[in-house]
A and B are shown apart, each in its own frame.
Chain A
Amino acid sequence: MSTALLQLHEVSAGYGSIQILHGVSLHVNAGEVVAVIGPNGAGKSTTFKVIMGFISYLGGQIAFDGHDLVGQRPHRILALGLGYVPQGRVVFTQMTVRENLEMGAYLEPDKATIRASMDYVFSLFPRLGERPRQLAGTMSGGEQQMLSMGRALMMRPRMMMLDEPSLGLSPRFVDEVFDKVVEMARGGLTVMLVEQNAARALEISDRGYVLELGRNRYQGSGRELLDNPEVRTMYLGGGVRPHAG
């Protein structure tokens, strides 16, 4: 198991006095696309936040590329090669596309490296390259999502964590965002994504984890989870009391 790029072992975490994760375990191998799905309150986003060091950690082990992440500050984790795209298209609305991307490289001192990263981002997202001077706040939701992903790529991470990349997007952009994830993965990036749109996420994932109320519930290949009727209906509370009401 030590070959995994990212490994969580029985991780517990929460917000203040409210515990959300009750011993979640998962791993992501280099080059994989892994989906984390589950109903609201499952602890999907919380799992990402505890990995990135944003919230209080209560127990368990988190390792990335041989480094212990517990107690590390977010900027240190970023520097280790773990990128993170938060939920909700968080961009600097009063900054241009280019400035947003530069912000993504704030830990990188070398200008030539930054320029090369920006070229790479523009090649992946041509629409961003066409309008480097547009204010981010004037872009559509889908474009902002692309910008948010592009900004995380500016540090050239080995692995990227995407929190609900398709949330609130029109169907056309949903397609585009998933296409981009596949494209990034083909380019060698390891990806872990949290998605509300479980079907779409599993479709592009090698493996998936289903969380429920802060615990592991199912795991398997994307295909297995897609075809598991229990996974489909657990969103409606069917797993607990199938014939209640």
Chain B
Amino acid sequence: MGSQGDGALTDLGGDAIVLEARNLRKAFGGVRAVDGCSFAIPRGKISGLIGPNGSGKTTTFNLLTGVTTPDGGDVIYRGENLAGHKPYEIFRRGITRTFQITRIFREMTVLENMLSVIAVDVPNRVARARADELIGLVNLTHLRAEYGGRLSYGQQKLLEFARALMTDPDLILLDEPAAGVNRTLLQHLLDHIHRLQASGKTIVIVEHDMNVIMNHCERIFVMDYGVKIAEGPPAEIRSDERVIEAYFGRRRSAEHS
């Protein structure tokens, strides 16, 4: 592993970084899912985290949010190392996420799902007003009394997205927001992501839909075999031979030459 991307960190400057991961590692049995991965997430931007299947994207999200405890490495956020913290501790510091497979409460209504993440010290009236506003933003108002389990998959994703915003987080990690969402809803979701960015939030998207990544992210991090292999703006990433090889594979003859 080299020092690739270290240059990228410095030209962003310390203030412009909301979260920095240093040498993150996580192995499952013999599989080194994340194998010394370092990157710095630019503040107030929409970034993309991409890579072929099994490259370690979701594990990285899990390490950043405490869902999985890292074997090593640091997660620096507001001057504090969050590596090894519990998910709720990280959540309370202003980092939220959605999941690839939605994790909503199926036996709760849309509104109850929204309220489920609110801390006890938030007045009910305030929480409800906020929930209603967010439900409206993702076009689920007509379903606010419906059980989560009865929503379509796309609607469940929107609900999870809205719920992630209930606590007014600073950093929002979205794991495959576009998967299974129809085009109309997707456009709506993307519009909302841009509005969040405009209001100063930082968003990181793991996504297989390259049109979402290339057209909506300012900066892209590319992972392969658990490490970051490239970082840059979409146009650069798209023509980066290392990235193309990570996706398309490499000929054996090329590997051994």
Chain A residues with CB below 8 A from B248, complex form: 198-199, 231-232, 235
With an 8 Å Cβ cutoff, the count of chain B residues facing the other chain is 32
- Asked whether B53 lies within 8 Å of A245 as measured between CB atoms, the reply is no
Chain A residues with CB below 8 A from B253, complex form: 203
Whether A3 is near chain B, meaning CB under 8 Å from some CB there, is no
Chain A residues with CB below 8 A from B238, complex form: 233, 236-238, 245
Whether A168 is near chain B, meaning CB under 8 Å from some CB there, is yes
Question: Taking CB as reference atom, which chain A residue is nearest B245?
Answer: A199
Q: Most chain-B CB neighbours within 10 Å: which of A198, A199, A200?
A: A199
- Asked whether A240 lies within 8 Å of B251 as measured between CB atoms, the reply is no
- Asked whether B251 lies within 8 Å of A41 as measured between CB atoms, the reply is no
- Asked whether A236 lies within 8 Å of B247 as measured between CB atoms, the reply is yes
- Asked whether B214 lies within 8 Å of A203 as measured between CB atoms, the reply is no
Chain B residues with CB below 8 A from A233, complex form: 238, 244
Whether A34 is near chain B, meaning CB under 8 Å from some CB there, is no
With beta carbons under 8 angstroms apart, the residue of A196, A200, A245 that contacts B252 is A200
- Asked whether B235 lies within 8 Å of A199 as measured between CB atoms, the reply is no
- Asked whether A203 lies within 8 Å of B251 as measured between CB atoms, the reply is yes
Whether A197 is near chain B, meaning CB under 8 Å from some CB there, is yes
- Asked whether A167 lies within 8 Å of B215 as measured between CB atoms, the reply is no
- Asked whether B250 lies within 8 Å of A236 as measured between CB atoms, the reply is no
Q: Which of B111-119, B124-132, B205-213 contacts A (4 or more CB under 8 A)?
A: B205-213
Interface residue SS majority, chain A: loop
Chain A residues with CB below 8 A from B53, complex form: 40, 164, 167, 196
With an 8 Å Cβ cutoff, the count of chain A residues facing the other chain is 33
**Contact residues of A between 94 and 141, Cβ < 8 Å to B:** 140-141
Give complex CA distance A231, B254 in Å: 18
Question: Taking CB as reference atom, which chain B residue is nearest A236?
Answer: B238
- Asked whether A168 lies within 8 Å of B31 as measured between CB atoms, the reply is yes
Whether A201 is near chain B, meaning CB under 8 Å from some CB there, is yes
Give complex CA distance A84, B42 in Å: 45
- Asked whether B244 lies within 8 Å of A236 as measured between CB atoms, the reply is yes
Whether B84 is near chain A, meaning CB under 8 Å from some CB there, is no
Chain B's nearest CB lies how many Å from the CB of A148? Answer: 17
Chain A residues with CB below 8 A from B123, complex form: none
Give complex CA distance A233, B243 in Å: 10
Whether B237 is near chain A, meaning CB under 8 Å from some CB there, is yes
With beta carbons under 8 angstroms apart, the residue of A141, A175, A199, A244 that contacts B249 is A199
Give complex CA distance A236, B243 in Å: 9
**B48-67 vs A, Cβ < 8 Å mask (1 yes, 0 no):** 00001110000000000000
Whether A18 is near chain B, meaning CB under 8 Å from some CB there, is yes
Chain A residues with CB below 8 A from B179, complex form: 41
Chain A residues with CB below 8 A from B30, complex form: 140-141
**Contact residues of B between 210 and 257, Cβ < 8 Å to A:** 210-211, 213-215, 233-235, 237-238, 243-245, 247-254
Whether B91 is near chain A, meaning CB under 8 Å from some CB there, is no
- Asked whether B234 lies within 8 Å of A244 as measured between CB atoms, the reply is yes
Whether B200 is near chain A, meaning CB under 8 Å from some CB there, is no
- Asked whether A241 lies within 8 Å of B244 as measured between CB atoms, the reply is no
Q: List 14 A-B contacts (CB under 8 A).
A: A40-B208, A41-B209, A167-B54, A168-B54, A200-B251, A231-B248, A235-B248, A236-B244, A236-B247, A237-B210, A238-B238, A241-B215, A244-B211, A244-B214
B residues bordering A, Cβ < 8 Å? 30-31, 52-54, 152-153, 179-180, 208-211, 213-215, 233-235, 237-238, 243-245, 247-254
